[in-house]
Amino acid sequence: MTAHQCPTPLDGVRVIDLSTRLGAYAGRLFADLGADVIRVEPPGGVPERTVPPLVGGVTSLSFAFTEAGKRSVVLDLDDPVDAARLEDLLGTAQMLLTSEGPGRLRELVLHPDDVTARHPRLVHLSISPFGLTGPWADRPAGDLTLLAAGGLLTLAGDPDLAPVRAWGEQTSVIAGVHGAAAALMALLALEDTERGQVVDVSAQEAIAHSLENAVQYFDLEGVVRHRAGAGPAEAGTGLFACADGWIYLVGGLGGLPLAWEAISQWLEDNGVEDAEQLREPRWRERDWRRGEQGIAVFRTLFERFAAQRTKQELYEDGQRRGISIAPVSTPHDLLSNPQLTERGFFRKLAVGDRTLAFPGPPYRFAGLDVGPGEAPAEPGRHTEAVLNSLSASAAAQAPKE
Amino acid sequence: MSSPLPLKGLRVADFTWVGAGPFFTKPLADHGADVIKIESRSRTDPIRNMAPFRDGVPGPDRSGYFANRNTSKRSICLDLKDPRGRDLALELIAQSDVVANNFTPGTMDRLGLGYEDVLKVRPDVIYLEMPMQGNAGPHRAFRGYGLAIAAVGGLLGLTGYPERPPVGTGTNYPDHVPNPLHAAVAVLAALRRRRRTGQGQYIELSQLESTVNAIGPALLATAAGMNTERCANDDAVAAPQGVYPCAGDDRWCAITVGTDSQWAAFVRVLGNPAWAARPEFATVQGRRGARRELDGLIAEVTATRRADELADELTSAGVPAAKVSDAHEVLLDPQLNARGHWRVLKHPVMGPSVYDNIPYRLSATPGELRGPAPLLGADTRDVCVGLLGMDPDAYQRLAEQGVVG
C-alpha cells in the first residue's frame, strides 16, 4: 500500500509549536501521529535546547526527546517581517500550541482571545501552569511547584524526609497527554464545523486529576493520605533488595495472601533456611500479615534468598511460577529488557553526531508507522523550505490581474 | 443555546476495568460519547470494591475510587460466557465505533470478542487493547499488580532520594496518567483518520511501552553513555530548588529559583539573611555546587514561615513557589476552585460526592460531567431493549436466567 492510500492519523494537520517545556510533549505526540509540527524558535534556538544533560556538549536530551519528528523554523518575532510570517504560518495551520500563562501570551500577542479572533479556524491548545483564568493564572511556576500545588507531591516520599517529586518533567507529561487528547477533540469539531476554538488546559488541574483516590478518601472517609514511602503495608508486598538492586513483589493485597503457596515453594525449592514457616496458618491472617513482625519476618526470609540473585533472574523465575514480581528497572536495564528488545521497541535516531535508541511510541497502530520518525532538527533547518511554501501558497492565492 | 458536545454520536463498547482503562474512556464520555461499560454480576470491575467507600462501608456502588473514573457512562451487565450474552455484546459492538479492553492477552479472543470476531460485525471498528506488556513477546503473559508497571517501566527506580531505596510517586501513576491518556490520544487520532478514509484501526497499547515514554529523556541519556540517578527534588538547571519545611507539623513549601534575578528576589523575601551575600551564591553554578549546604540554610529560615504566606510572597516577587497541598487543601485551593475543578455530583447510593472536573475547557464545545458513576447494571435494560431492540419479554426471560441485568 502506498503512503497516499495509507495516511497517518494526523496526515494534513499542521501544528505551530511555540511551547516551552511544559507543552513540548503534547507537540511530540502530534508529530508521532503524522502531523506537520513546526517548532518556531527565536534566532539561536529556544532555551530548552541547552537544558542538561547534553549529548556531544550541544544537544539537550530532554529537548531531543520532545522534538523528534518536529520541523524547526527560526523567526525573530521582534522583527515585523518575521512576525507577519508567523501570522501567515498560523493561517495555514489547524493548531497552535503554547504553554505559558495569559499575561505572557498577551505580551507575545498570542493570547487565545486575540489569536482565535485573527484565525477563526485555528485550534489553540493553550497549556499553562494554572489555566488562562483564576487568581493564580500568572503565578510563576515550575514542575516542582506545580506538583506541590496540584496535590501529587504530598503523596510521594518517606515520612521522615521532605516530599519528593516524580523523576523528570512529569508535569509536561501530565499536561501534555490531557492537552493532546483535548486538542484532538477540538480538531474533530474543527473538521466538522470549520470552527476553531481555545483549549484551555491547566497543568495544576491535570495534576489534581492524577491523585488516585486521595480526594475521595477525604471526601468519603475523612482520611487525608500522606506519603508512605514504597515500603510494604503488608507481608510479601513492596520493594526487596537483591544482588543488583530491588525487585517489587506483590505477595499480598488488602490483607490477603497472593500466590503465597507459589512464593513459599519458590523459597523452599531453593533451600532458603526457615522458609517452611511461611506455610504456618498465621500468614493467612490479616492482622499478622499487616503487623510489623510479619512484615519483618517475611523480608528477612525473602532477602536472604534474593541477595544471591539478580533482578532479572528473580523476575523471570518468579513470573514463571505465577508470582507477581517486577524488577525495579534502571534506564540501563530497560535498554536490554527482553520484552522491549524482542518487540523492536527502540528506534535508532541521530542526535547531533550520535545515534541514540529512542523509546518507541506509546501505542502501535496496525499497518501504520506511528512514532518518532525523524531526528530532532537543528534550529532553523526548515526555515527556508517552510517560508518558500508560504510564499508559493500566497502567490497561488493572489488575485489575478 | 448550549454548545454541542464534541463526541456526540460516538459509541464506545467499554470492556475496560480497574485503573487505566476507565480513565481513558472517561474523557470520551464526558465529551458526549455514549460509553457503555460492560460488566457481569459475577465479574464486576474490581475497583468497585476498592476503598474509599461512602462512610467507609464497602459495596459495589459505594467506591469513590470507581466513581471518579466512571462519570457520564452507562453500565450494563452481560454474562459473556453464555453464548446469548456474547451475542448481545456483538450486537452492541455492531453499533459501536470503538471497542476497548485492558484484559490479559487472549481474553477477548476466548470470549469470542477478539478483533477478528468484531471485524465481522463492525468492519470499521476502532479496537484498542491495553495489555500490560503487549500481546506478543517473551513477557506477554507476565502478571503484575500495583506498582509493577512503574517498577518495570523505570519511573519507580528513578524517583526518590539518592541515599535511600526508591519511593516512586506514592500512587499507581501509570494507571492515572500515561496509560489512559495515551489511549485516549490514540483512539481520537484513529477516529480522525477513519473520518477521512473510512478505515477502522487496531491499536495495541502496551502499558509498559506507554509508561517508558514518561522517562524518555533518561533512556536517551543512558543510550548516550550517561548515568541517570535518583536526585530527590534537584533540578538540572535551577538552584536552589527544593521542598522546604515551614511552620507547623509536616508543612512544606516547594520553591524553584531558576535565574539570578529570582535569586535576588528570593533573598529579599527571606529577609536578606547574612549568608545569602556569600560570593559563591551569586551564580547558579555556585549555588548548585553548594546546594546541600544552601538547602540547610534556607530551611532554617522557611521553618519560621507559614507555607501559604511564603508561597504568596515568593510568587508575588516572581519566584516559582507553592505550598505542598494535601487532599484536603486542594479541595480548598483558591485557583482550583476559581476554575471549578471540583464538582459535587449526587449519586443515588453515595449521595453528594466530590468528583474531579475535566482538567481543561474547550471554549466552543466544552465537555461536562454528565452524570455520576453508574450503578452496577443500571442501564442493562435500556441498552438491550432501547438500543438493541430486544423484545421486553425476551429480556425478562434472559434476566431471570442471569444472562443479563
Interchain proximity A328–B354, CB inside 8 Å? no
Interchain proximity A220–B64, CB inside 8 Å? yes
- Give the side-chain half-sphere CA count within 13 A for A369: 8
Sheet strand arrangement including B126-129: A364-365, B201-204, B126-129, B98-101, B11-14, B34-39, B74-77
Which pLDDT value is given to residue B45?
94
Judged by a CB distance cut-off of 8 A, whether residue A390 touches chain B is no
User: How buried is B318 (Cβ within 10 angstroms: 0-12 exposed, 13-18 middle, 19+ buried)?
Assistant: middle
Which pLDDT value is given to residue B146?
79
Which pLDDT value is given to residue A255?
84
Of the candidates B56, B232, B335, which has its C-beta nearest A134's C-beta? B335
Mutation pick from B57, B68, B187, B219 vs chain A, by most beta carbons of A within 10 Å, is B219
In eight-state DSSP terms, residue B385 is I
Min distance A399 CA to chain B CA atoms (Å): 30
Q: Count of CB atoms within 10 A of residue B190's CB?
A: 28
A201 CB neighbours in chain B (<8 A) are: 359-360
Contact A270, A305 (CB under 8 A): yes
Contact A46, A72 (CB under 8 A): no
Question: What residues have CB less than 8 Å from B301, skipping those under 6 apart?
Answer: B270, B271, B273
Contact A169, A21 (CB under 8 A): yes
Interchain proximity B359–A178, CB inside 8 Å? yes
Which pLDDT value is given to residue A189?
97
CA A309 to each of CA A295, A303, B136: distance values in angstroms, whole numbers, following the listed order = 21, 10, 27
- Tell me the percentage of chain B whose pLDDT exceeds 90: 96
- Give the side-chain half-sphere CA count within 13 A for B328: 7
Which pLDDT value is given to residue A401?
45
Interchain proximity A144–B235, CB inside 8 Å? yes
Residue B308 has pLDDT above 50, yes or no: yes
A135 CB neighbours in chain B (<8 A) are: 334-335, 338
Q: By CA distance, what is B353's nearest residue in A?
A: A219
- Assign residue B125 a region (left: φ > 0; alpha: ψ between -120 and 50; beta: otherwise): beta
Question: What residues have CB less than 8 Å from A170, skipping those under 6 apart?
Answer: A143, A147, B169, B173, B177, B214
Mutation pick from B220, B256, B291 vs chain A, by most beta carbons of A within 10 Å, is B220
B243 CB neighbours in chain A (<8 A) are: 144, 148, 153, 162-165
Per-window interface: A 6-45 vs B, CB < 8 A: 7-12, 29, 33
Three cell numbers written together for A175: 499536561
Which pLDDT value is given to residue B2?
58
Q: Count of CB atoms within 10 A of residue A335's CB?
A: 17
In eight-state DSSP terms, residue B348 is T
A312 CB neighbours in chain B (<8 A) are: none
Residue range B231-251: mean pLDDT, rounded:
96
B144 CB neighbours in chain A (<8 A) are: 250, 324, 326
pLDDT in 10s for each residue of chain A, 401 residues: 444 457 999 999 999 999 999 999 999 999 999 999 999 999 999 999 999 999 988 889 999 999 999 999 999 999 999 999 999 999 999 999 999 999 999 999 999 988 999 999 999 999 999 999 999 999 999 999 999 999 999 999 999 999 999 999 999 999 999 999 999 999 999 999 999 999 999 999 999 999 999 999 999 999 999 999 986 689 999 999 999 999 999 999 888 899 999 999 999 999 999 999 999 999 999 999 999 999 999 999 999 999 999 999 999 999 999 999 999 999 999 999 999 999 999 999 999 889 999 999 999 999 999 999 888 899 999 999 999 999 887 777 666 54
Three cell numbers written together for B393: 419479554
Q: By CA distance, what is B167's nearest residue in A?
A: A230
Q: What's the predicted TM-score (pTM) here?
A: 0.97
Report the C-alpha gap between A206 and A219 in whole angstroms. 19
Report the C-alpha gap between A195 and A121 in whole angstroms. 5
Residue B394 has pLDDT above 90, yes or no: yes
CA A54 to each of CA A20, A42, A63, A351, B216: distance values in angstroms, whole numbers, following the listed order = 18, 20, 9, 10, 14
Of the candidates B153, B214, B360, which has its C-beta nearest A201's C-beta? B360
- Give the side-chain half-sphere CA count within 13 A for B298: 27
Q: Count of CB atoms within 10 A of residue B120's CB?
A: 10
Residue B173 has pLDDT above 80, yes or no: yes
Contact B332, A208 (CB under 8 A): no
Three cell numbers written together for A335: 535498554
Min distance A23 CA to chain B CA atoms (Å): 14
Interchain proximity A9–B315, CB inside 8 Å? no
Q: Count of CB atoms within 10 A of residue B296's CB?
A: 9
CB pairs under 8 A between A and B: 513
Per-window interface: A 101-130 vs B, CB < 8 A: 112, 116, 130
Q: What's the whole-number average pLDDT of chain B?
A: 96
A51 CB neighbours in chain B (<8 A) are: 236-237
Q: By CA distance, what is A153's nearest residue in B?
A: B324
Min distance B64 CA to chain A CA atoms (Å): 5
Give the closest residue to B223 by CA, choosing from A401, A350, A112: A350
Report the C-alpha gap between B247 and B249 in whole angstroms. 7
**Residue holding cell 551564580?**
B283
Interchain proximity B178–A210, CB inside 8 Å? no
Min distance A25 CA to chain B CA atoms (Å): 10
A188 CB neighbours in chain B (<8 A) are: 6-7, 188, 191-192, 195
A349 CB neighbours in chain B (<8 A) are: none
Which pLDDT value is given to residue A2?
43
- Is residue B175 part of the annotated active site? The answer reads yes
Assess: ipTM above 0.90.
yes
Interchain proximity B327–A214, CB inside 8 Å? yes
| N-terminal to C-terminal alpha carbon distance within chain B | 37
Catalytic residue among B175, B249, B312, B379: B175
Strands (E), A61-213: 71-74, 95-98, 123-128, 197-202
Residue range B337-361: mean pLDDT, rounded:
98
Alpha helices in B122-162 (DSSP H): 148-152, 155-158
Of the candidates B164, B189, B328, which has its C-beta nearest A224's C-beta? B328
Which tens digits make up the pLDDT trace of B202-235? 999 999 999 999 999 999 999 999 999 999 999 9
Mutation pick from A121, A220, A336 vs chain B, by most beta carbons of B within 10 Å, is A220
